[in-house]
Amino acid sequence: MRLTLTALIAALAASPALAAGDVFFSLGNTDFVVLLAFILFIAVLFYFKVPGMIGVMLDKRAADIRTELEEARALREEAQTLLASYERKQKEVQEQADRIVATAKEEAQRSAGQAREELAKSVERRLAAAEDQIGSAQAAAIKAVRDQAVTIAIAAARDVIAKQMSAAEGNKLIDDAITQVDAKLH
């Protein structure tokens, strides 16, 4: 309040109206009337403690802002903690996915190796079976040729013997064959 009065006195002392020689403290002087109205306005403000109320309101607003800033800092710290947690989890999930992929690749390589081995064994078995079939077919063909040769030889021998042999010689051969069979059976 003293500061305001000092400023008012200084303003009155340096007034251009005083320098011109006119009467400043007259109600006819508009500058004086404005000055009185301003002083009265300031006095009313101080009487109703408006500067104190403004100070309280500003202090309350500053406290609200301070509280909001503290909440914002707390939220930021919480967000950073959550972000770090999610980044850790994402890294763990990525590592787990990498392990799964590596295991799947190893399993696929193992399976491919087993499949190659089984295929090679299967081919060997089929080749052996084919060789056995070829051998069997060859043996059957040889047996068929022998049987045919024996049949032809018997027929040829019968024809030759029939042309060269007499009935007495034939009977003698039959008797010798019966004797040999009887001896072998007993």
Tell me what pLDDT residue 47 has. Answer: 92
Alpha-carbon gap, residue 42 to 32, rounded angstroms: 15
Tell me what pLDDT residue 62 has. Answer: 96
Mean pLDDT over the full length of the chain = 85
Alpha-carbon gap, residue 177 to 186, rounded angstroms: 14
The b/e string for 132-149 (b: 16+ C-beta within 10 A; e otherwise) is: eeeeeeeeeeeeeeeeee
Tell me what pLDDT residue 17 has. Answer: 47
* Higher pLDDT, residue 2 or 35: 35
Summarize the chain as % helix, strand, coil (round to 5): 90, 0, 10
Each residue's pLDDT tens digit, 130-179: 899 998 889 888 988 888 888 887 877 777 777 777 777 778 878 888 88
- Measured in residues, the chain has a length of 186
Distance in Å from the first CA to the final CA of the chain: 162
Each residue's pLDDT tens digit, 6-38: 655 655 555 554 544 567 778 888 898 999 999
Mean per-residue pLDDT, 64-92: 96
